[in-house]
Chains A and B, each alone.
Chain A
Amino acid sequence: MTQPGLEEDRDDLVERLVIEVMEIERQYGHELRNVKAEKHGKIREVIETLSRVEL
């Protein structure tokens, strides 16, 4: 794969991650209890999935 192609793929992954993270943030919304660990776990799951797609 050429370098520009790699760049495009990476940008695409970043965009997809942004969308997924915002979806997670919306799910938790104005939750007052401490949900940080839960949210971080979900974000890591998304990153793992996206990375598998790339690798």
Chain B
Amino acid sequence: MRISEIDLWNFRQFYGRETLKLACGNEQNVTLIHAENGVGKTTLLNAVYWAMFGEVTPRFEQRQRIINFEAEREGVQHAKVEIEFEFNGQQYRASRRFEKNTREPIFSVSKLEHGALIPLSAPETFINSVIPKDMARYFFFDGEHAESFAAEQNKGTGTAIRSMLGCDLAERGISDLKAVGNQYTRLVSDVDGEAGVQNLRDRLSRLEDEQEIDEAALKDHEKSIEEAAAQKALIEEALRRTSGAKEIQLLRDELEVQKIDAEVQIGATRAELVHWIGAKAIAVTSRKLTSKTLDFIDEESVRGRLPSPYREDFIQGLLEKETCICCRDLKPASENWVAVAALLQTAGNTEVLNRVVRARTRLISLKENAANAPKLLGVIQERLASLLARYRTLEQRVGEESRKLEDFNLDEVRERESARITLDKMIRDRSTEVGSLRNTIKVRVQSINALEEEIQTKVAKNEKARAIMQKRQLAFSASERLKTLLQQYEEDARKDIEAEINFILQRTARRDYRFEFADDFKMSLLHADVEGAVPKSGGENQLMSLAFTAALIRFSKARLNKQHFILSPGTVAPLVLDAPIGHLDRSYRHATAEFIPKMAGQVILLLSSAHTSDGVLEALRPYVGMEYVLISENKGPKENKGDDAIDLHGKSYVRSLFNQERSRTRIQRVI
């Protein structure tokens, strides 16, 4: 899919009609848009997403306000976005129109043939086949969003891989098979003569319904945590870029890193404590008993008499030789023979002796363990107390820094911090609910299994009921099988993407980094000179996230048109990148700018003046087919504000105009 034109009518900052023609060449595949913050970069990105799917990205503020304020004031009742694109050699035009006071925008897709528009009957289905919504979010995102992939607590990486892998159909299959399995459960009670089963079936059915509800809630919660974490990362990123707030945020970042480190150490120390209980607690509690038993075994008066003063083989030898140690004859069945043979009853043997030796060894070990255990416990407890104190201090300091931002003398910062706190609380609350839901689901699985077994036993003799239960089992087994297959493919995809990221890093990074996914999809950069993961600066986060995005897109492209028995094929779509190199230092910027055009067949790159230095434009220039400047027109006076002029191709473009007829954003073509 390649987009050739975006048309906006009264969409947000854009008053009236604004058109953007995009670069579609194989060589010159980049459309470069210069825009300062707050002028409309995110709006442009969202216009495309909204036109196709009727949704906007999470960070789009005041998402309900679609119609341009000025136009609305003048009585305009609608806004519209149209996108012209090519797909499989055919041109299409997608249009979404928002009418004030109507519930749903009107969406249509038409095929362009000989200049005529031929409407398609199922536009949503068609758009989803061009670019599935789950995949689209990884093409139409901004650099700041991309960066959040690398954030410590981000869980979006796994979701991104699953989306690009095309798991959607298989996931629906899993859900449908479970639903059908549940339907069979309900059928069992209809079988005549199985009265006792009905009660069990009702309970099972109720549990399965509850399980379905909780599983859906879990999915929702996980998704909302993921989105909130991404939004929180964006806010923190914005704070890092705001003068004055920057230092506070950076200190908070540092404190958060220390907090995580303390958390890890607290976890490890608690594990040590548990280990101490397992290894030493018995020794300590049985110290007296151990000591007394050992004393008893080692006591002079009983030494040599435990387990017995006579050994079995010694008595046997006397009886065989028929001679006692006092040289008397031991004729079989004689009085003396019987007396000596009776000693066999109490004689010790090698096995018993070994047992006593082993018991003694164990007792000695217990005694030694008991001796150093209290000291060891003291050391562990002291360390744990110190770590907990350190954690509390760090938490306090994070709180202090947050309060500084809450009281900051800039509305923008205060609002961001307030939003961050709300998101943070939401993430914590939801995480608790997720933990509780996971536990409930786990416990309920056991109850479901037990009930199933009970029903199976009860209906074992009823042919009809047994047949239904077998069908039910078949549905659930197939659902489980699909789940296992998806996990396998996901693991393979993870390895492919990891290899691709390493390949990209080799070409762009100056240092010899190695990228690695952890089991929970956490991304780490490793370096031979650094023990553990390399601490991620903003630049390294951005580089890693860009490499991840590029790897995802390549992965999707490699799967284009590939028919797979459970996975949907991949897709090709324009990549929209907003400020993707803001955090990179000079050495990386140039290499990354050279790399960006190769990330996708078509790239829409939004850059502010802060990103266009250090040879970035020179590196991009050979690939730029279209270039625009977003101009902010303001009704208000200039006062002390700058005009944000930019020099491009020998011409100066003033990007902030004042005392204008309306406040709006204009799109000015440069080349």
Contacts and interface: CB of A to CB of B under 8 A. Distances in A.
A and B: interacting chains = yes
Given A22-B566, A51-B471, A44 B180 contact: yes
A40 B474 contact: no
B504 interface: no
B170 interface: yes
B124 interface: yes
Interface string B467-487: 100110011011001100100
Given A25-B169, A36-B176, A30 B132 contact: yes
Interface string B97-126: 000000000000000000000000010110
A47 B467 contact: no
A29 B125 contact: yes
Contacts of B172: 25
B474 A13 contact: yes
B132 A39 contact: no
A55 B467 CA distance: 9
Nearest to B473: A10
Contact of A43 (B122, B475, B485): B475
Given A43-B180, A44-B183, A17 B125 contact: no
Contacts of B180: 40, 43-44, 47
A19 to B, nearest CB: 6
Contact of A48 (B125, B176, B471): B471
B128 interface: yes
Contacts of B477: 10, 14, 17
- Mostly helix, strand, loop or mixed at chain A's interface? helix
Given A17-B478, A21-B177, A22-B170, A29 B471 contact: no
A19 B485 CA distance: 12
A50 B475 CA distance: 11
Contacts of B169: 22, 25-26, 29
A39 B176 contact: yes
A47 to B, nearest CB: 5
B478 A40 contact: no
A54 B471 CA distance: 11
Given A14-B474, A19-B565, A48-B471, A31 B125 contact: yes
Nearest to B476: A14
Given A40-B180, A44-B180, A48-B471, A18 B125 contact: no
A40 B470 CA distance: 17
Contacts of A1: none
Nearest to A39: B176
A40 B179 CA distance: 8
Interface in A5-22: 10, 13-15, 17-19, 21-22
Given A30-B128, A31-B125, A25 B173 contact: yes
Contacts of B474: 10, 13-14, 17, 47, 50-51
Contacts of A13: 474
A18 B567 CA distance: 12
Contacts of B122: 32
Nearest to B187: A44
A45 B147 CA distance: 48
B124 A32 contact: yes
B482 A18 contact: yes
A15 B129 contact: no
A45 to B, nearest CB: 10
Nearest to B172: A25
B124 A30 contact: yes
A47 B471 contact: yes
A52 B218 CA distance: 37
A55 B172 CA distance: 28
A48 B481 CA distance: 19
A36 B481 contact: no
Contacts of A15: 481
Contacts of B173: 18, 21-22, 24-25
Interface in B155-180: 169-170, 172-173, 176-177, 179-180
B125 A43 contact: no
B457 to A, nearest CB: 19
A16 to B, nearest CB: 9
Nearest to B478: A17
A45 B170 CA distance: 19
B5 to A, nearest CB: 25
A51 B467 contact: yes
Given A17-B474, A30-B132, A43 B176 contact: yes
Nearest to B563: A26
B452 to A, nearest CB: 16
B228 to A, nearest CB: 27
Contacts of A10: 474, 477
A5 B312 CA distance: 55
Contacts of A39: 176
A50 B485 CA distance: 21
Contacts of B176: 21, 24-25, 36, 39-40, 43
A50 B467 CA distance: 12
Given A14-B478, A47-B471, A47-B474, A22 B565 contact: yes
Interface centre among B124, B125, B173, B471 (most CB of A within 10 A): B173
Nearest to A51: B471
Nearest to A44: B180
Contacts of B177: 17, 21, 43
Nearest to B472: A47
B471 A32 contact: no
B565 A29 contact: no
A30 to B, nearest CB: 4
Interface centre among B122, B474, B485, B565 (most CB of A within 10 A): B474
Contacts of B124: 30, 32
15 contacts: A17-B474, A17-B477, A17-B478, A18-B173, A18-B485, A22-B566, A26-B169, A29-B128, A29-B169, A30-B125, A32-B122, A36-B176, A36-B179, A40-B179, A47-B180
Given A21-B177, A32-B125, 20 more contacts: A10-B477, A14-B474, A17-B475, A17-B478, A18-B481, A18-B482, A18-B485, A22-B482, A22-B565, A29-B125, A29-B169, A31-B125, A32-B122, A32-B124, A36-B176, A36-B179, A44-B183, A47-B471, A51-B467, A54-B470
Interface of B: 122, 124-125, 128-129, 132, 169-170, 172-173, 176-177, 179-180, 183, 467, 470-471, 474-475, 477-478, 481-482, 485, 565-566
Interface of A: 10, 13-15, 17-19, 21-22, 24-26, 29-32, 36, 39-40, 43-44, 47-48, 50-51, 54-55
